[in-house]
Amino acid sequence: MFSEAVELYLRLKGHDKPKTFHTAARRAGRYLTECCGDKDLADIKRSDATQFRDFLVDMDLSGSSIVRVFTTIKSVFNFVCSEYGLDLRNPFSGLYMNRTDGVRERVPVPQKSIVRVQSECAKIDDDIRWISALISDTGMRLSEAVGLAKTDIILDHPYPHVVIKPHPWRRLKTEGSKRIVPLVGSALWAAKRASEASNRDQVFPRYIRDNECLANSASAAINKWLKNHIP
């Protein structure tokens, strides 16, 4: 059964992966089971794959989200076939998908809104505002900022900067995400304040729990606050 294939995949390949890896795999498997039933791998046909694609489209998932679901399903299928020596063609491979379907163009945030937000960050002066200010002048991903260690912030340097690197509680999206980011303006202020305030190894300990970076929780808090400041 495909549900069993997902659990095998996670048991063997997911022991050092974050919770999001497990959640994504189980969610993709659940979608497939809801659409086509919980079939043995040998019984899954090309027609099931096309039906599954259309099922995801009808769910109003964006093209990029559908591609991610299919990538996970294909990985599970290929992994289990390799483990058990099954000579099966992957029915999910090579299926046409429109990556741009449902993707909305993002409008840049007006500069005056950024300045207003940065001003409010300085007034309120807490961890949510430090994260917001840190991102505003660096372009860091939210998870990169939330998952910083105190040793990542280098202030005693002619050019203050942040070292973006993986940690046990926060992986990076790609290998190329490792980099050095200069600290200027509001980001420099936020880095100083956050470093001074934290008494843990992490800069934002409120959003690190059980060796996991809770970037989604920080995102929800920031977005709720920003609604009143960005049009």
The reported pLDDT for the residue numbered 14 is 85
The reported pLDDT for the residue numbered 20 is 84
Instruction: Please provide the distance, in angstroms rounded to a whole number, between the alpha carbons at the two ends of the chain.
Output: 48
The reported pLDDT for the residue numbered 104 is 61
Q: How far apart are CA 18 and CA 204, in angstroms?
A: 18
pLDDT band at 103 (very low <50, low <70, confident <90, very high): low
- Tell me the backbone φ, ψ of residue 90, rounded to 5 degrees: -75, 110
Q: Letter for the amino acid at 6? A: V
| Of the listed ranges 32-46, 61-75, 97-111, the one predicted with least confidence | 97-111
CB 91 within 8 A of CB 44: yes
Q: How far apart are CA 206 and CA 194, in angstroms?
A: 12
The reported pLDDT for the residue numbered 140 is 92
Please give the structure tokens belonging to residue 183.
């600290």
State the CATH architecture for 2-84: Orthogonal Bundle (1.10)
Mean pLDDT score across all residues of the chain: 90
The reported pLDDT for the residue numbered 108 is 79
Domain ranges of the chain: 2-84, 111-226
pLDDT band at 97 (very low <50, low <70, confident <90, very high): confident
* pLDDT (mean) for 179-187: 95
The reported pLDDT for the residue numbered 41 is 93
Please give the structure tokens belonging to residue 119.
């001003």
The contacts of residue 64 (CB under 8 Å, 6+ apart) are 99, 100, 103
User: How many degrees, rounded to 5, is the angle at CA 37 between CA 34 and CA 43?
Assistant: 140
What pLDDT digit, counting tens, does each position of 110-151 carry?
A: 888 889 999 999 999 999 999 999 999 998 999 999 999 999
Q: Is the pLDDT of residue 17 over 90?
A: no
What pLDDT digit, counting tens, does each position of 193-222 carry?
A: 999 999 999 999 999 988 888 998 999 999
The CB-side HSE value for 73 (13 A sphere, CA atoms) comes to: 27
Q: Is the pLDDT of residue 107 over 70?
A: yes
What pLDDT digit, counting tens, does each position of 29-58 carry?
A: 999 999 999 999 999 999 999 999 999 988
Q: How far apart are CA 108 and CA 113, in angstroms?
A: 10
